[in-house]
Homo-oligomer: A and B are copies of this chain.
Amino acid sequence: MTTAEQPPAPRKKTGRRPGGADTRRTVLEAARAEFAARGYEKASMRAIGRAAGVDAALLHHYFGSKDRLFMAALEFPVQPKAAVAQLLAGDRAVLGERVAEFVLTLWEQPGVLDRLMALVRAAATTEQVARLMREFVQEELVARIAAELEVEQPELRAELMFSQIVGLAMARYVIGVEPLASATRAELVPLLAPTFQGYLGGA
């Protein structure tokens, strides 16, 4: 990855094309590092461009604005549509367990927790990010889940499930209360599964 210390590299035959998928990935990696290190408000588009070795014009061409770059950089490591479909496709009697397993496994993937924490921190301190997150959650998660539930108040129930997931991340990783912070997935799933199952209507 190109870093701020290197001079603009001569183009290698096998190197990335300007504007190609490699550049996009490099920019997103630089953006994640900058947002994680400095937070949303203090993060600088200029610093991200410098770290990625691309100029400001290209950065704006790709991502338009800081808020759009932020959401792109912290995008879910899974496609919400595919993940929701997969979770809801299986046996509904153990849906709560499947959600608990999915979330805890996801957080153990490299880099996922950093993105999640950067997002939660930014949403907690910056109304602009809170709004983006609100729209994302409502459109990409809640609406999709609610459409598949045969219960009353499906949106409210999907959002209570979301609230438990956010709170679990806060308590386990941000505040870090013990023994929750060190509890294993195997210990947590049996306790969380009935909560999710209940919110989803025992579906």
Sort chain A's interface into a size bin.
35 or more
Which residues does chain B contribute within 8 Å of A80, judged by CB atoms?
Answer: none
Q: Please tell me how many copies of the chain the complex holds.
A: 2
Q: Does residue A128 face the partner (Cβ distance < 8 Å to B)?
A: no
- Which B residues lie within 8 Å of A178 (CB)? 138, 155
User: Which residues of B lie under 8 Å from residue A171 when comparing CB positions?
Assistant: 159-160, 162-163, 166-167
Tell whether, in the assembled complex, residue A125 and residue B167 are in contact, meaning their CB atoms are under 8 Å apart: no
C-alpha gap A157/B130 in the complex (Å): 29
Is A47 close to B, CB under 8 A?
no
- A66 at interface, CB cutoff 8 A: no
Determine whether the beta carbon of B175 is less than 8 Å from that of A123: yes
Report the minimal beta-carbon distance from A76 to chain B, rounded to whole angstroms.
15
A111 CB within 8 Å of chain B: no
A125 touches B123 (CB 8 A): no
Q: Does A35 contact B (CB under 8 A)?
A: no
Which A residues contact B (CB, under 8 angstroms)?
39, 120-121, 123-125, 130, 133-134, 137-138, 142, 153, 155-157, 159-160, 162-168, 170-172, 174-180, 183, 187-188, 191-192, 194-195, 198-199
